[in-house]
A = this chain, B = another copy of it.
Amino acid sequence: MHRFLDLADFSRDEIVSLLELARRLETHPEPRALAGRILGLVFFNPSLRTLASFQAGMARLGGSSFVVTPGQGTWQLETQLGAIMNGAAAEHVREGLPVLASYCDALGIRAFAEGKDLARDLAESQFGAMAEVIDKPLINLESAMNHPCQSLADWKTMDDLEVPRHAKFVLSWVQHPRALPLAVPSATVHMAAMRGMEVVVLRPDGYALPPAVMAKARAAAAVSGGSVRETSERSDALAGAQVIYAKEWGSTTHYGDAEGDAMLRARLADWCVTPQWFEPADPDCRLMHCLPVRRNVAITDAVLDGPRSIVRHEAYNRMTAQMAVLHRMLSQGA
């Protein structure tokens, strides 16, 4: 495996095989598999789980890692092609990233959406411009519209807990003090569809996912025997749900317009997951979230501290799933 940028770059069978490797490494550790291998991690945006789980995962496989945080300890990096660099950024990614890649065996990059122009973010213009100058194995640590490591961890978590392949999976918009990127919801709807689930996207008006995101998920569902639909009716969506996956994101009708988005979301305070949300759901319904989560804004304490929540299990699986990616990418037999 040379790149891990998008689950859609792999067949369903390839993902299933990757998850088998993740489980094998859990039960049969290989503490020297990546001895001497070095992972470089570049964070244009903050990180907690990604930073810690990749460093711990490499260490558990005998490898090592280094962290570069542009703007913090390192200067800002310019991403725009052709820029006249007389501003804050001291270095261009066209120099900085190939140089970092030359020091390591694989590079991971986190670069959130610019959040101004939806078409540009949907095209992964920024991440693409970076990926293009790197000739080493590359991992997407979250880009404008994708978060494949999170999706792989979520898939494994559902497998671990024996959530059926065709279970009803509700991706629900939830409240947040401000607009957040579309990366996780876009990756999640596709992942659940690719797993073969009955996917329902529940979101208020103004928060529909982009048509291209829905189409990509539907294409995955068609191959795997799943389905994808969307609604703004909570009772319809939650009826019989076996998974509620809560996630915050910004309005797509007001993309890049913080004020417009704020006016829309001001009326949506009741989009905070409470125990009542589970009443129409399946008795065994689980609550998923990628974290970080704002308690009592997106999800109440009662739900997060209750038995339905599997958010810590998902976060733990960031490490196990990524270890499989690293192993397939960097082990000698790879």
Complex CA gap A57/B96 in Å reads: 17
- Does B72 lie within 8 Å of A72, measured CB to CB? yes
Nearest chain B CB to A94's CB is how many angstroms away?
A: 7
Choose the segment among A20-28, A45-53, A277-285 that binds chain B (4+ C-beta atoms closer than 8 Å). Answer: A45-53
How many copies of the chain does the oligomer comprise?
A: 3
- Does A52 lie within 8 Å of B291, measured CB to CB? no
Query: C-beta contact mask, A16-49 vs B, less than 8 Å → 1, else 0?
Result: 0000000000000101000110101001001111
Q: Which of B92, B98, B294, B315 contacts A295 (CB 8 A)?
A: B92
Residues on the B chain within 8 Å of A31, using CB: 35-36
The reply to whether the CB of A307 lies closer than 8 angstroms to some CB of chain B is: no
Residues on the B chain within 8 Å of A35, using CB: 31
Choose the segment among A59-67, A121-129, A143-151, A185-193 that binds chain B (4+ C-beta atoms closer than 8 Å). Answer: A59-67
The residues in A between 292 and 309 inclusive whose CB is less than 8 angstroms from any CB of B are 292-297, 301, 304-305
- Does A301 lie within 8 Å of B102, measured CB to CB? no
The reply to whether the CB of A236 lies closer than 8 angstroms to some CB of chain B is: no
Residues on the B chain within 8 Å of A48, using CB: 68, 70, 74-75, 91, 96, 99-100
Complex CA gap A91/B25 in Å reads: 29
Of listed A72, A99, A294, residue having the most chain B CB within 10 A: A99
The reply to whether the CB of A311 lies closer than 8 angstroms to some CB of chain B is: yes
Residues on the B chain within 8 Å of A293, using CB: 91-92, 95
The reply to whether the CB of A177 lies closer than 8 angstroms to some CB of chain B is: yes
Residues on the B chain within 8 Å of A96, using CB: 48, 291-292
- Does B102 lie within 8 Å of A292, measured CB to CB? no
Residue of B nearest to A62 (CB): B36
The reply to whether the CB of A56 lies closer than 8 angstroms to some CB of chain B is: yes
Complex CA gap A200/B58 in Å reads: 47
Residue of B nearest to A291 (CB): B95
Residue of B nearest to A90 (CB): B292
Nearest chain B CB to A298's CB is how many angstroms away?
A: 8
Residues on the B chain within 8 Å of A74, using CB: 46-48, 51
Complex CA gap A275/B123 in Å reads: 33
The reply to whether the CB of A10 lies closer than 8 angstroms to some CB of chain B is: no
The reply to whether the CB of A332 lies closer than 8 angstroms to some CB of chain B is: no
Residues on the B chain within 8 Å of A86, using CB: 177, 294, 297
Residues on the B chain within 8 Å of A84, using CB: 295-297
Residue of B nearest to A64 (CB): B59
Smallest CB-CB A-B distances: 10 pairs: A91-B292, A85-B294, A56-B103, A55-B66, A99-B315, A102-B316, A59-B64, A84-B296, A48-B74, A90-B292
